[in-house]
């Protein structure tokens, strides 16, 4: 491809805060069509096709069978799993010309079960995995970050079917490894799997694959020593209480208008850590109240709460109808019309401040182990915090980082096959629901994430495996006949062996190099009247690891060599298939 013919323009003005969005907009990779909806120009489409190829190869390697599900689906399919009603407005619903309810697929569990239903009726057919690479639509309220969080996107989604949890577990590990290979092949082996909450997918075990970066939307809890990693939503809170020898008596104190933890602590000369905090929610289904007591310095992890309650909640609006005294709620002498839960952070705590359940009064000397009924259950509902003890090795402190989720894998269990009535005959002739796993990777988000991880201030530094072109020839003074002839000849020779871009425009060197930085091709060849006078071309890599002069005649061989070296560098970090 010659740059003079390539559709797209590049420009200097900063286009967005997030670097991948900025560089890919400035570099002519994409153009916004609507809120969270983009067209991909030729360079991005080339990257996309290469990522799709990696995905296809790795899915085939773990015995995946490629299929194609529809983008638009009848409501009946989503009603059969119950998700038509349980998913919010991110599922885009509409009516077709006949008035029938339909939706745009945001995931395809229903479609996968629909396809496999009735054609996998005996245990001998299992396990199997089907996958597709297809457009999805998720009506995100807040699209952001260019291709990082869009509404329409291309996704590889895979669904496996099993006759036992053990078999799923075994396959899940193969898929996990395939994912590690995919990220490594795409040039970001640093992507890490973290345990995650399964959310609306309805399963139990799941992992998110995270690229750590400050612009990420997800929060990850890590132990740098033992390797513990979990999504904040799934991370255990390991707050510990130092036992105190002398227990003070429970005592009512006047605290007047002091309501917040901070104010009460200030007034009584205490700390949040030595307080017991009340947090009140209401169940979405019936607005019934849920009252959680945590240590004053621990926040409630709403995902854990939702999972524990098995229903969605929202912060309480009106405390009076639950007979609660805002700012003075405490676990002793409590007369509340609410489900009352105690967070683990209160276990073993002593001599705390807590509300006294009447206006202007608190207790001091509250010791849960003494003042609460013996059968009180302490549940892990707290948010993990940087510096807390690692829940895995119990020896080091955890760190909290931001990350972009570039993929996820779920053990779904029988959630969908049960709901949709998919069964097979087992060895004993019993009709049983198969167990499912599902495995997703967004193609555009992966592309943007690679750009996020691999760039400098001038442009993307595409890994050789997904770069739009492997090598770019910059013909400086392309209007010079000698340069033109040499560049064209080199272009012909290189094109036969590598994906080659030739900048054949009569533009200044600065202009051409700044465009080349935005194209981000791994290998660059510069030909100019000056280099030709010396009989050489200048060879360099976009990552600046190589910069050398090479005899013109030797350039194709050396370029090929460099490309192979760069490929080997990527492949070195790709683990074996399981």
List interacting residues with a second copy (CB under 8 A): 1, 4-9, 28, 31, 33-35, 37-42, 44-46, 48-49, 63, 65-74, 76-77, 89-90, 92, 94-98, 100, 102, 104, 111, 114-116, 118-120, 124-125, 128, 130, 132, 134-135, 137, 139, 141, 151-152, 154
Closest distance to a second copy from the beta carbon of 74 (Å): 4
* DSSP labels, 512-562: HHHHHHHHT-SEEEEE-HHHHHTTEEEEEETTSS-EEEEEGGGHHHHHHHH
Distance in angstroms (rounded) separating the CA atoms of residues 6 and 336: 69
Query: Which residue number, 92 or 312, has a Cβ lying nearer to a second copy?
Result: 92
Distance in angstroms (rounded) separating the CA atoms of residues 571 and 465: 9
Point out which residues pair with 377 in neighbouring strands.
none
Backbone φ and ψ of 108, nearest 5°: -130, 30
Closest distance to a second copy from the beta carbon of 508 (Å): 17
Closest distance to a second copy from the beta carbon of 556 (Å): 22
Closest distance to a second copy from the beta carbon of 467 (Å): 16
Helix (H) or strand (E) holding 463: none
Distance in angstroms (rounded) separating the CA atoms of residues 174 and 58: 10
Distance in angstroms (rounded) separating the CA atoms of residues 269 and 267: 6
Six-digit token string for 352: 């705390």
Answer yes or no: are the C-beta atoms of 295 and 261 closer than 8 Å.
no
Query: Which residue number, 114 or 207, has a Cβ lying nearer to a second copy?
Result: 114
Distance in angstroms (rounded) separating the CA atoms of residues 239 and 242: 10
Closest distance to a second copy from the beta carbon of 121 (Å): 8
Query: Which residue number, 92 or 326, has a Cβ lying nearer to a second copy?
Result: 92
Closest distance to a second copy from the beta carbon of 477 (Å): 18
Closest distance to a second copy from the beta carbon of 105 (Å): 10
Distance in angstroms (rounded) separating the CA atoms of residues 30 and 35: 13
Which burial class, exposed, middle or buried, applies to 101 when counting CB atoms under 10 A from its CB (0-12, 13-18, 19+)?
Answer: middle
Closest distance to a second copy from the beta carbon of 107 (Å): 15
Answer yes or no: are the C-beta atoms of 392 and 235 closer than 8 Å.
no
Query: Which residue number, 1 or 546, has a Cβ lying nearer to a second copy?
Result: 1
Query: Which residue number, 74 or 369, has a Cβ lying nearer to a second copy?
Result: 74
Backbone φ and ψ of 405, nearest 5°: -80, 115
User: Helices 443-453 and 19-26 sit at what angle, rounded to 10 degrees?
Assistant: 100
Query: Which residue number, 87 or 379, has a Cβ lying nearer to a second copy?
Result: 87
Query: Which residue number, 96 or 225, has a Cβ lying nearer to a second copy?
Result: 96
Q: Is 28 left (phi over 0), alpha (psi -120 to 50) or beta?
A: left
Six-digit token string for 270: 């205490």
3-class DSSP assignment, residue 282? strand
Query: Which residue number, 93 or 259, has a Cβ lying nearer to a second copy?
Result: 93
* DSSP labels, 444-455: HHHHHHHHHHSE
Six-digit token string for 134: 């297809």
Closest distance to a second copy from the beta carbon of 152 (Å): 5
Closest distance to a second copy from the beta carbon of 503 (Å): 14
Query: Which residue number, 69 or 293, has a Cβ lying nearer to a second copy?
Result: 69
Query: Which residue number, 104 or 473, has a Cβ lying nearer to a second copy?
Result: 104
């Amino acid at each position: 491809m010659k740059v003079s013919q390539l559709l797209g323009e590049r420009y200097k003005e900063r286009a967005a805060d997030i670097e991948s969005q900025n560089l890919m907009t400035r570099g002519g990779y994409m153009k916004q069509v609507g809120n969270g909806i983009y067209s991909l120009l030729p360079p991005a489409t080339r990257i996309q096709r290469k990522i799709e190829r990696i995905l296809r190869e790795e899915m085939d390697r773990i015995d995946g069978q490629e299929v194609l599900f529809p983008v638009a689906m009848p409501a009946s399919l989503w009603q059969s799993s119950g998700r038509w009603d349980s998913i919010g407005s991110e599922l885009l619903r509409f009516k077709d010309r006949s008035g029938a309810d339909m939706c745009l697929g945001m995931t395809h569990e229903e479609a996968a079960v629909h396809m496999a239903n009735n054609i996998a009726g005996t245990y001998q057919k299992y396990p199997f995995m089907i996958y597709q690479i297809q457009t999805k639509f998720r009506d995100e309220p807040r699209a952001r970050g260019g291709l990082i969080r869009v509404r329409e996107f291309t996704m590889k989604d895979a669904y496996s079917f099993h006759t036992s949890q053990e078999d799923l577990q075994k396959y899940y590990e193969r898929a996990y490894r395939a994912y590690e290979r995919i990220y490594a092949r795409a040039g970001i082996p640093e992507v890490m799997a973290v345990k995650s909450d399964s959310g609306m997918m309805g399963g139990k075990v799941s992992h998110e694959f995270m690229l750590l970066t400050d612009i990420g939307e997800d929060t990850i809890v890590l132990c740098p020593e033992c390797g513990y990693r979990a999504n904040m939503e799934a991370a255990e809170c390991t707050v510990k209480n130092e036992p105190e020898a002398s227990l003070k008596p429970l005592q009512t104190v006047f605290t007047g208008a002091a309501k917040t933890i901070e104010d009460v602590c200030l007034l009584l000369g205490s700390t949040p850590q030595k307080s017991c905090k009340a947090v009140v929610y209401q169940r979405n289904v019936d607005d019934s109240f849920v009252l959680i007591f945590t240590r004053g310095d621990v926040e409630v992890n709403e995902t854990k709460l939702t999972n524990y309650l098995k229903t969605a909640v929202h912060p309480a609006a009106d405390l009076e109808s639950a007979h609660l005294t805002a700012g003075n709620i405490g676990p002793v002498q409590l007369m509340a019309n609410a489900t009352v839960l105690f967070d683990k952070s209160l276990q073993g705590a002593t001599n705390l401040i807590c509300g006294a359940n009447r206006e202007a009064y608190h207790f001091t000397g509250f010791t849960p182990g003494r003042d609460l009924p013996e059968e009180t259950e302490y549940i892990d509902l707290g948010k993990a915090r940087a510096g807390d003890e690692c829940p895995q090795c119990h020896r080091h402190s955890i760190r909290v980082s931001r990350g972009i989720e570039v993929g996820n894998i779920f053990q779904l269990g029988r959630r969908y096959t049960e709901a949709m009535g998919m069964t097979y005959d087992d060895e004993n002739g019993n009709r049983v629901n198969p167990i499912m796993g599902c495995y997703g990777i967004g193609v555009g988000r992966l592309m943007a994430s690679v750009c996020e991880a691999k760039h400098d201030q001038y442009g993307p530094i595409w890994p050789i495996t997904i770069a739009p072109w492997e090598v770019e020839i910059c013909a400086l003074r392309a209007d010079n006949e000698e340069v033109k002839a040499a560049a064209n000849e080199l272009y012909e020779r290189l094109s036969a062996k590598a994906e080659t871009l030739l900048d054949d425009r009569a533009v200044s060197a600065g202009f051409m190099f700044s465009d080349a930085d935005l194209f981000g091709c791994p290998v660059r060849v510069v030909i100019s009247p000056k280099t030709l006078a010396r009989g050489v071309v200048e060879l360099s890599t976009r990552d600046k690891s190589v910069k050398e002069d090479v005899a013109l005649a030797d350039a194709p061989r050396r370029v090929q060599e460099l490309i192979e070296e760069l490929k080997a560098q990527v492949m070195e970090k790709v683990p074996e298939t399981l």
